[in-house]
Chain A
Amino acid sequence: MHAAFVVFVKEMTDNLRDRRSITMAMVYPLIGPILLSLLLGFVGTTLRIDPDQRLTIAIANDSAAPELVAYFARSGVVIRSLRDDPVAAVQRGQVPFVVVVRERSATDKRLRVQLIADPGRFSTLVPVSRTLDLLRGYGRDTTLATLRAAGLDERAVEPIVIEHENVGRTLSLAALFLNMMAPFLMFTIFIGGVYLALDSTSGERERGSMEPLLINPVSRLEVLLGKLGAAYLFTLIAVAVQVVAFAVMLELTPPQGIGLVDPPGAAHMALVFLLCLPLALFAVTLQVLIAVMTRSLKEAQTYLGLLPLIPSIPGMILVFAPLKTQGLLAAIPTFGQTLLIGQIIRGDGVNALHVLVSIAATLIATAALLAWTARLFEREQAVFAN
């Protein structure tokens, strides 16, 4: 195994001097967490329901409904009387939305109001929804007052009372973001060491340095293991950078905005990293297999550029419809990890047997890939580009 170590040390020295390898391992993994924290920050501040912040409602023709204005005022709303054209005012962005009080018709004495809003504007979602609640509340209060005045029971007109209880550890919006971590990690695992895996095999063959290297009295399996080891270490660095970045991001994100009840802690993150260890080995072995199998560096680059998408897609779909690990799903490399990592991060807990099955199955698949790669590496085509 001495030769494998010599090759490993050479590849590490060589690639630590290469900006492309370093970028892949240390900068790319930060993109996911940064993107996610920007999204969380944005959504958190726009959707936050701040109990101290008073709602402002612009009302056009407010003089036609003094009882509604009084109700708003009692509810703590800041009222802004609008004299301009309400549609134009919303379109210009002068006010986020307007409640327009219509003139009552001669036949129907009910109060008619029109809500003018631009639903494309994300930031108006919360105030519009609060305004609708207030309008409904006003309608309900008025009805109840009328019923009580007539001596009737309110239960006659309100046959259903809805109570809502969330049993998840996180609210839905937070869960949505947490679910994105697993596909991001899959992407990182398949991209972190890819440059090294390619450059040290297909690239080395294309530059003509594979030939002198393989004239040395070492087995080709040892050469292969040295190169795999270096690509593996770079991948692990990438995964570690991303896991730490996610942990920092969760630490810094204001939890109330997205309803993050119980963010995953260090122990959760450590378990996620543990699940990534065998998968990263599977990923680099697959990358080296493809590099050795293909005829040119360009061909290998084409396949390896698309490869990270494949394990990420199931996770992206599961963001919206998370699955719980069942039976042998854990045994599928990349998919098993996606499910298990999702569960760990959401705080749902995992079955230890599922973790073991995932690790064992991934290692067995890796051994099979390695055997295949080693066989291909004995071919003459492994030495010469043409």
Chain B
Amino acid sequence: MLEVRDLHKSFRGVHAVRGVSFQARDGEVTGLIGPNGAGKTTILRMLYTVLRPDSGTMLIDGVDAASDRRAAQRRIGVLPDVRGLYPRLTAREHVRYFGRLHGMRGAELESRIDRLIALLDMREFADRKSKGFSRGQQMKVALARALVHEPHNVMLDEPTNGLDVATSRAVRQLIGDMRAAQRCVLFSSHIMQEVAALCDRIVILAQGRVVLAGTPDELRRHTGLDDLEEVFMAATGTAAERIAAPDSTLAAAED
């Protein structure tokens, strides 16, 4: 369970995140969607502890991520925007490195690595150095190392960005499996169809604010639009101001 309350963040005078609040529940997939520059990556980076918010609260399974960074870090698995692999390490060594940093070792770690390699269909390149990996292969390595410690909460920044159809499908399948396992999945995307296909809840961001949030049905009902892409356009475009304040079941922008 991830919870964000009234989060603010500025960079050199630019107010990038302006009072964002939302929840991502266990057993659900929550999608953060918004146009480029809406603040998706900044919010995720604060949640996964590499950026400090100027103000606001972030709770990860009830643990305050700002005051108890390491306890929060133990509960999350993260696929960052930049995959950041080491060209001279093999895929397996990447996963092993992060497993060890989580305090795993020995046979338990090795069998966990083997299972991830099988799950993500990485056998073919598992023992090859990552230099020259395709984007799909890079994403799989980054995903495997994010999941090595079996985190309860998973944050994925644009997981299908630049992937081919087959790999994108595999990622969507994996996200579905994690939901079935009662994990909490939060992922960001700027592709509405992907979010619509996967998410139990959608948080639409624009200019550092939550402009609309709820289940897909709630969003449709609220805007009176059938197509979620239309909902997205309406919420993030000039129509944003015309949408009435959402009711209390919806996390909303706090101006």
Contacts of B89 in A (CB 8 A): 10, 13-14
Residue in A2, A215, A219 whose CB lies within 8 Å of B80? A215
Within 8 A of B (CB), among A21-64: none
In the complex, residue of chain A having the shortest beta-carbon distance to the beta carbon of B76: A215
Interface size on B, residues (CB 8 A): 31
**A53 CA to B73 CA, complexed, in Å:** 80
Contacts of B78 in A (CB 8 A): 212, 215
Residue in B86, B100, B145 whose CB lies within 8 Å of A14? B86
CB–CB B82/A217 < 8 A:
no
**B29-37, B48-56, B120-128, B226-234: which one contacts chain A?**
B48-56
CB–CB A212/B70 < 8 A:
no
Residue in A13, A208, A210, A384 whose CB lies within 8 Å of B93? A13
CB distance from B37 to the nearest CB of A (A): 14
**A40 CA to B49 CA, complexed, in Å:** 59
CB–CB A207/B84 < 8 A:
yes
B15 at interface by CB-CB < 8 Å: no
CB–CB A217/B70 < 8 A:
yes
A371 at interface by CB-CB < 8 Å: no
Within 8 A of A (CB), among B117-146: 129, 142, 145-146
Given contact pairs A13-B89, A212-B142, A380-B50, A218 touches B101 in the complex (Cβ within 8 A): yes
Contacts of B48 in A (CB 8 A): 215
**A3 CA to B80 CA, complexed, in Å:** 21
**A218 CA to B85 CA, complexed, in Å:** 19
**A216 CA to B97 CA, complexed, in Å:** 10
**A179 CA to B142 CA, complexed, in Å:** 52
Given contact pairs A14-B86, A14-B88, A18-B88, A217 touches B101 in the complex (Cβ within 8 A): yes
CB–CB A208/B83 < 8 A:
yes
A145 at interface by CB-CB < 8 Å: no
Chain B residues engaging chain A, CB cutoff 8 angstroms: 45, 48-52, 70-71, 73-74, 76, 78, 80, 82-86, 88-89, 93, 97-98, 100-103, 129, 142, 145-146
Please name 18 further chain A to chain B contacts, defined as beta carbons within 8 Å, in addition to the given A6-B97, A216-B98, A383-B50, sorted by A numbering.
Answer: A2-B103, A6-B101, A14-B86, A14-B89, A208-B82, A209-B85, A210-B84, A211-B45, A212-B80, A212-B83, A212-B84, A212-B145, A215-B78, A216-B102, A218-B70, A218-B101, A380-B51, A384-B50
Chain A residues engaging chain B, CB cutoff 8 angstroms: 2-3, 6-7, 10, 13-14, 17-18, 207-219, 380, 383-384
| 7 A-B pairs closest in CB distance | A208-B82, A209-B84, A208-B84, A217-B73, A216-B101, A17-B88, A6-B100
